[in-house]
Amino acid sequence: MQRLADLKDELEPWLKLAQQARDALELAELGDDSLAQELHAEADRIEKDLNRLEFRLLFSGPYDRNDAFLALHAGAGGTDAQDFAEMLLRMYLRWAESHGYQTEIVDRLYGEEAGIKRATVAVSGPYAYGYLRAEKGVHRLVRLSPFDAAHRRHTSFVLVEVWPDLPETVSVQIRPEDLKIETFRSSSAGGQHMQKNETAVRITHIPTGIVVTCQNERSQAQNRETALRVLRARLMEIEERKRQQELAQLKGKHVEAAWGNQIRSYVLHPYQLVKDHRTGYETGNTQAVLDGELLDEFMEAYLRSTLG
């Protein structure tokens, strides 16, 4: 029944678009010149919707329709990397807003001087994971550092992780005895406590060492539930990675699971450029990218490249 509902949801916008096209053709056949401007505008809308639907055909993965968890981790670069992580967080939040997605920051650890050390965001909406999976990997920033008294050029790195928010029907075994659950007080920038109660939850999956934290100012029970959802998604990713490695070995090709090379560079000095190293797609409009306005182009380039 869930599969049937998903197919109906997928088919409905195509049927609606086809009806809009038929209605526009009927108006055009009237030959009324006063309708010309309205018809041109309608044709533009139909073309835009068609391009959007055709783009979604690239989402062929089993979880591409799902909601997603997006995690940012400041890497090499000290305060600059933490500031870069906050820049990317803002970029993804604005991108999600422009797509009508709901976002919730379930965990955020601020840096001592500026920026964030890490953050995890729940992104809810159709094909959220399908879009965001193109962002997995290391992102690099090159700029004149505002935290360097000499204002020298610095390079910093942020790791972006993305997992699908899995439905309860997906089988991921989590045994209670494998979990270490701790509670603590949610805190904001500067270490000030948001609450006096220990509502924040930290779950450690002992067999894998995965640690998931959720502190979004709600009840402890809700934070625990969200943290378990993130843990399930991360465990599923590990299983999928193992399956892909086994398949690659059968094909005679070794796949390195570690992240070491950047997938995208954001250069703000000595020139303006954002370039995806996997696809070669680039733009000089760095501000628009950091405002979340041009991410779709990078995502589409990546998704098309994965189709071979």
pLDDT for the residue 257 = 30
- DSSP characters for 200-265? EEEEEETTTTEEEEE-SSS-HHHHHHHHHHHHHHHHHHHHHHHHHHHHHHHTT-----S--SEEEE
pLDDT for the residue 31 = 82
Residue 277: inside a domain? yes
Do 157 and 187 belong together in one domain? no
Which residue stretches of the chain have pLDDT < 70?
168-171, 187-197, 217-218, 243-244, 246-260, 307-308
Which of 17, 33, 56 lies at the terminal end of a domain, its last residue? Answer: 56
Do 295 and 161 belong together in one domain? yes
pLDDT for the residue 162 = 92
Range of the structural domain that residue 19 is part of: 2-56
Tell me the sheet residues that pair with 214. 201
Domain count, the chain: 3
CA distance 165 to 51: 26
pLDDT for the residue 196 = 60
pLDDT for the residue 191 = 46
Residue 190: inside a domain? yes
Hey, CA dihedral for 17, 22, 25, 26, is it positive or negative? negative
CA distance 157 to 141: 6
> pTM score, two decimals?
0.75
Residue 36: inside a domain? yes
Do 40 and 76 belong together in one domain? no
pLDDT in tens, 71-115: 999 998 889 999 999 999 999 999 999 999 999 999 999 988 899
Angle at 270 between CA 264 and CA 274, to 5 degrees: 20
Residue 188 is part of a domain; what is its CATH number?
A: 3.30.160.20
Do 72 and 163 belong together in one domain? yes
pLDDT for the residue 217 = 63
